[in-house]
Amino acid sequence: MQTLDEIVASAPIFAELHQDDLLTIAGCSRTAQFAEGEYVFREGQQADVFYLLRRGAVALETFAPGRGPLRLATVHEGEILGWSWLFAPYRWHFDARALESTRAVAFDGECLRGKCDEDHDLGYELMQRFAQIMVSRLQATRFQLLDVYGNGRG
């Protein structure tokens, strides 16, 4: 079984970080598990954590009266869940619910923000990496909005 240090060191989002930075990040982490159907976080709650999914899948949803939960996207093994820990007011914008039994590494956002305030180089590295994730998700969401399969030309 891998240690948290090993998991952090092998995670693509933390690739090529200095060993000291990897240890700092691992020092702000813990393991987490969610049963099928369990909420990982709820819209509006304090967002002081992000997750690296190790196994399973999580759905990002929002609840609409009369329509129930509306599913926006899913996050899967190896992917990062959550970036609201980076930006005030540090609140979740959506619900996240485990679609199946899910294991993750949870990173304490408040802890990491403190480390980044002390070490701006680490802060820059993390900001760059999360910015890349956000750009990818934004592009995918824009593509999704185009509804390209719904124009009758298939």
Partner 1 sequence: MLRRLRETADTWTLELEPPRQGFEFAPGQFTMLYAFGAGEVPISISGDPARPERLVHTVRAVGPTTRAICSARRGESLVVRGPFGSTWPVEAAEGGDLVVVAGGIGLAPLRPVLYAALARREAFTRIVLLYGARMPDQLLYTAELERLRTQGIEIFLTVDQADEQWRGAVGVVTTLIPRARLDPGRTVAFVCGPEIMMRFTSSSLVQAGIAPERLHVSLERNMKCALGHCGRCQFGPHYICGDGAVFDYPAVEHLLTVPEL
Q: In what order do the strands lie in the sheet with 57-64?
A: 39-41, 95-98, 57-64, 68-76
Alpha helix (H) residue ranges in the chain? 4-10, 19-26, 109-118, 120-145
The minimum distance between CB 117 and partner 1, in angstroms, equals 31
Based on the shown chain and the rule CB under 8 A, indicate whether residue 64 belongs to the binding site for partner 1: no
Q: Which of 106, 129, 119, 83 is nearest to 33 (CA)?
A: 106
Nearer to partner 1, 69 or 114 (CB): 69
Contact stretch for partner 1 (CB under 8 A) within 14-22, 56-64, 87-95, 112-120: 56-64
Q: How many residues bind partner 1 (CB under 8 A)?
A: 28
Based on the shown chain and the rule CB under 8 A, indicate whether residue 68 belongs to the binding site for partner 1: yes
Tokens 């099928």 map to which residue? 36
154/112 Cα distance (integer angstroms)? 46
72-101 binders of partner 1 (CB under 8 A): 72-74, 76-79, 99-100
Tell how strand 49-55 and strand 80-81 pair up: antiparallel
The minimum distance between CB 103 and partner 1, in angstroms, equals 17
Q: Which residues make up the interface to partner 1 (CB under 8 A)?
A: 57, 59, 61, 68-69, 71-74, 76-79, 99-100, 139-140, 143-144, 146-154
